[in-house]
Copies of this chain bind each other. A is one copy, B any other.
Amino acid sequence: MHLLVIQRILGILLMIFSLAMLPPLFVSFLYLNITFDAFFYSFAIILISGIILWLPVKKQKQELRIRDGFLVVALFWTILSLFGAIPFILSPDPAVSITDAIFESFSGLTTTGSTVLTGIDDLPESIQFYRQQLQWLGGMGIIVLAVAIIPMLGIGGMQLYRAETPGPVKDTKITPRITETAKALWYIYLSLTVLCALGYWLGGMSLFDAIGHSFSTVAIGGFSTHDASMGYFIDKPMIEVVAIIFMFLSGINFALHFTAWRHRSLAYYLLDSEFRAYVIILILVALITVFYLHNENVFPGFDRALLHGVFQTVSIGTTTGFTTHQYHLWPGFLPVLLLFVSFIGACAWSTGGGMKVIRFLLLLKQGIREITRIVHPHAVIPIKLGGKPVSPRIIDAIWGFFSAYVAVFAIMLLILMMTGLDQITAFSAVAATINNLGPGLGEVGDNYASLTNTAKWILCFSMLLGRLEIFTLLVLLTPAFWRR
């Protein structure tokens, strides 16, 4: 381990992160919020902490090895989430416990979007803005993580994207260096954000809400400036439509956006197996949801069933977690179906959570291969993606990822039940956090405030596990990692 280099990097990150206090500081000033001091002190504390970390080791510039990456990533997300809680702690409104402040910050930066706050409509605008911005910054972090770091660490089969990425994604290799790839994708991220904000604004949101919700839409975060989430705007269906479009777009592989944009051709989307699977899953689930809502007369008219059904499918399916309606009170089958879909999640290299469509697709192909192998025991059947065979090593890694996901899910569920949660709440709380989805069912259908502190800390860990693709954290718990 190059611990001193890691300390230097963390110091720099904190100094950069302190700048994140300035926009809400400005919002405080603009709206005459009582939170001005809170953001100012947060800025100072984070900046000074960064300097204190960085100063003694500022000359440590050895090259990091791949193995250091696990520690950097885990520390990065944990420490920023802890420091990100400072404004919530210092601000007189909302008056929250330290645990709640940290939960909210983890939920923001991991773009989970579970909240412990109520009365969000009445919060100071600066705090509202800060929450939305946390998610947007988290989304930027995820892009770097997914594109540059996870494939390098060789986690969960995402080394698929390391060497020769199959199909159109390959084109992105034109910007081979990590930072340049990330930069290119950040431009897409920024463009999507601007377009989304514009859409919301034209749809009828205030400029403040439009910007805030564009942040949490493009980051697949799900935070809102209203307790009713997107349901607040239900009388302006254009806003819901804009949300559906941008949640859908943000759930797509950003490298695919980049390729399509660079070639000015939509054909690249259709050539991508993961994109096709993503679309098919969403359409199928939306059909079932709308039909079921209509059939059970949950809404008076078909148009409402259509809007709510499609919105909630895209929102939960991409793991955004916006709600237009208390979907957790819909007839039992639907919320569970949608939660299951959130396990599949969005595409790889997007800001979404869950296991990712590409892994689901490869699992499905392997499942079909196993059945074919039973019928034809002597056939040699390679798993292909975009016409190219996928190496057995990657297949192994994806099976391993899936099993680890299931095992971690079951263990977290049991631990939560041990703290006293009922089965439905525990089930949905783990699903909502490990998939970085946000809202759950039962007691956590709207809000996580009523949970015990122990449960909240466990769920913070669950959000982090999901966001860091399980293995980044698991590896840190093995002795083998620390040896040598």
Cβ contact of A424, chosen from B403, B404, B424, cutoff 8 A: B424
A290 to chain B, nearest CB (A): 15
A330-373 at interface with B (beta carbon < 8 Å):
332-333, 336-337, 340, 363, 366-367, 369-373
A374 touches B475 (CB 8 A): yes
Closest approach, in angstroms, between the C-beta of A65 and any C-beta of chain B? 12
Q: Does A282 count as interface, using CB distance less than 8 angstroms?
A: no
Q: B-facing mask of A45-80, CB < 8 A → 1, else 0? A: 000000000000000000000110000000000000
Decide if A155 is an interface residue (CB 8 Å cutoff).
Answer: yes
| Residue of A292, A375, A421 contacting most chain B CB atoms (<10 Å) | A375
Taking CB as reference atom, which chain B residue is nearest A332?
B417
In Å, the complex CA distance between A343 and B410 comes to 11
Let me know if B475 and A367 touch, CB within 8 A: no
Q: Are A403 and B366 in contact (CB under 8 A)?
A: yes
In the complex, residue of chain B having the shortest beta-carbon distance to the beta carbon of A474: B371
Q: For the complex, is A471 an interface residue (Cβ under 8 Å from B)?
A: yes
Tell me, in angstroms, the Cα distance from A414 to B422 when the chains sit together: 20
A153 partner, pick from B155, B336, B374, beta carbons under 8 A: B374
Nearest Cβ in chain B — how far from A320, in angstroms? 22
A396 at the interface (CB under 8 A from B): yes
B366 touches A423 (CB 8 A): no
Which residues of B are found within 8 Å of A166, using beta-carbon distances? none
Quick one: given A332-B422, A422-B332, are A478 and B414 in contact (CB under 8 Å)?
no
- A400 and B366 in contact, given A375-B67, A478-B371, A480-B372 (Cβ under 8 angstroms): yes
**Interface residue? A169 (CB, 8 A):** no
Give chain B nearest CB distance to A256 CB in angstroms: 26
Separation of A147 and B372 alpha carbons in the complex (Å): 23
Pick from B369, B418, B471: contact of A374, CB below 8 A: B471
Which A384-422 residues have C-beta < 8 A from chain B? 392, 395-397, 399-404, 406-407, 410, 413-414, 417-418, 421-422
What is the chain B residue whose CB lies nearest that of A416?
Answer: B333
Interface hits, A417-435 → B, CB 8 Å: 417-418, 421-424, 427
> Which single member of B336, B373, B478 contacts A375 (CB below 8 Å)?
B478
For residue A377, CB closer than 8 A to chain B, the reply is: yes
Contact of A403 among B363, B413, B475, B478 (CB under 8 A): B363
Once the chains bind, are A406 and B406 in contact (CB under 8 Å)?
yes
- Binary contact track A472-484/B, C-beta < 8 Å → 1, others 0: 0011001011000
Q: A333-B417, A373-B397 are in contact. List 14 more A-B contacts (CB 8 A).
A: A67-B375, A154-B373, A155-B374, A333-B418, A336-B413, A336-B414, A340-B410, A363-B403, A370-B396, A370-B400, A371-B480, A375-B481, A396-B399, A424-B424
* 13 chain-A/chain-B pairs, Cβ below 8 angstroms: A292-B418, A332-B417, A332-B421, A333-B414, A333-B417, A337-B414, A363-B403, A367-B400, A367-B403, A367-B404, A370-B397, A370-B404, A402-B403
